[in-house]
Amino acid sequence: MTALLIRRVVRLVVVLAGVSLVTFAILHVSGDPVALMMAEAPEADRAVLRETMGFNEPLPVQFVKFLGSTARGDFGNSFFHRAPAMPLVLERMPTTLLLTALAILIAIVVAVPAGIYSAVRRGSLVDQAVTLAVFLGQSMPIFWTGIMLMLLFAVQWRVLPVSGWDSWWSLVLPAVTLGTFSAPLFLRIVRSSMLEVISLDYVRTARAKGVSEWFVICRHALVNAALPLVTVIGLQVGLLVGGAIVTETVFAVPGVGRLIVGAIRQLDFPIVQAGVFVIALLVVLVNFTVDLLYVYLNPQIRVR
């Protein structure tokens, strides 16, 4: 158990170093970061910037320095906001986290009952409708789903605000949009793990004892189907954040995603790097936690 924990922590550190390298590469992949930042400036100005930013040093030296400042959370000043990039990103983090959490909640509330029902009544009309809905949901571009919901609820029926983030009502459309993005995946996982568990001996034994059907499903089957769902939510957190970036842009939600997309349009690289790093850090930490949780929840691994 301790050896396993140490191995996981070592891997965490190695992965974080890799994440920093990729973040570093964003600015240097084009060959000349200065040309990227000030395309129209005269050569003399560029040379000055190159010197002050330390771009004349060898790349490995620059990377080591970058690692140092990354560890301190210092990604330089935003060109556009003229303020340190990191606090600007962190300031918007709660909004993105709230949006993502609401979406996961909506997806679970929809996917778990629907997944259980279609597994229990396998092959029924409802099951077929659910399968079709999963296929449709997975084929919809998320930004289009958002615009269609906006068209119906905000433009046509005028029951919800078009965009913004100023009242609880304005959270509804973005959260539902991001929720429809993750629900199909959750549903598939719940359905297939329920199908796997439902025919096992101990479930049949419980039924034979005369325990009521819903008790069997909730107490015996669902508990075991929960583990894969937790894993998938953990593994898919990156995908969800990707969806959040798009959703924030559609509904003008002032989160990290919208900040990054705006920064990309203005070639404001300190913000882009800080944002990409923070999101990757979040994904890595969630995966790490899920990994540990998995070890803790799964007795087969825990004993070893």
Partner 1 sequence: MAIRSLAPPDLTVAAAREPVAERSRIWRKFVRNPAGIAGALALLVIVGAAVAAPYVAPHEPARQSLIRRFTPPIWAKGGHPAHLLGTDQVGRDTLSRMIHGARLSLIVGVSAVVVSLVVGVTLGLLSGYIGGRLDVVLMTIVDVTLSFPQLLLALAFVAALGPSMVTIIVVLGLTGWERYTRVVRAEVLALREKDFVEAARAMGVTSTRIVMRHVLPNTFSSIIVMSTLQVAQAILQEAALSFLGVGSGSAYPTWGQMIALGRDFVSVAWWLPTFPGLAILVTVLAINLVGDRLRDALDPRVT
Residues lying near partner 1 in the complex (CB under 8 A):
11, 14-15, 18-19, 21-22, 26-27, 29-30, 36, 135-136, 138-144, 147-148, 150-151, 155, 238-239, 241-242, 245-246, 249-250, 260-261, 264-265, 267, 269, 272, 276, 279-280, 283-284, 287
Query: Nearest approach, Cβ of 217 to partner 1 (angstroms)?
Result: 26
Dist CA 67 CA 65 (whole Å) = 5
Closest CA to 195 of 116, 94, 95, 281: 116
CB of 144 to partner 1, least distance (A): 3
Select 163 or 224, whichever has its Cβ closest to partner 1.
Answer: 163
The residue length of the chain stands at 304
Place of tokens 């993105």: 96
DSSP conformation letters of 118-152: HHHTTTSHHHHHHHHHHHHHHHS-HHHHHHHHIII
Kindly state the smallest distance separating residue 50's Cβ from partner 1, in Å.
17
**Least spacing, CB of residue 65 vs partner 1, in Å:** 19
Min dist. Cβ of residue 142 to partner 1 (A): 7
Q: Which CB sits closer to partner 1, 108 or 241?
A: 241
C-beta closer to partner 1: residue 191 or 220: 191
Give the whole-angstrom CA distance, residue 24 versus residue 269: 11
Compute φ and ψ for 241, nearest 5 degrees: -65, -40
CA torsion angle for 53, 54, 55, 58 (degrees, to 10)?
-160
Asked whether 159 and 153 are in contact (CB, 8 A), the reply is: yes
Closer Cβ to partner 1, 194 or 246, answer by number: 246
First to last CA, the chain: 7
Q: Which of 187, 202, 181 is nearest to 118 (CA)?
A: 187
Q: Are 77 and 85 in contact (CB under 8 A)?
A: yes
Please, what is the minimum distance in Å from the beta carbon of residue 75 to partner 1?
13
Beta bridge partners of 84: 77
Nearer to partner 1, 139 or 208 (CB): 139
Q: Which is nearer to partner 1, 104 or 279 (CB)?
A: 279
d(CA 101, CA 118): 25
Least separation in angstroms between CB 265 and partner 1: 6
Q: Which is nearer to partner 1, 149 or 197 (CB)?
A: 149
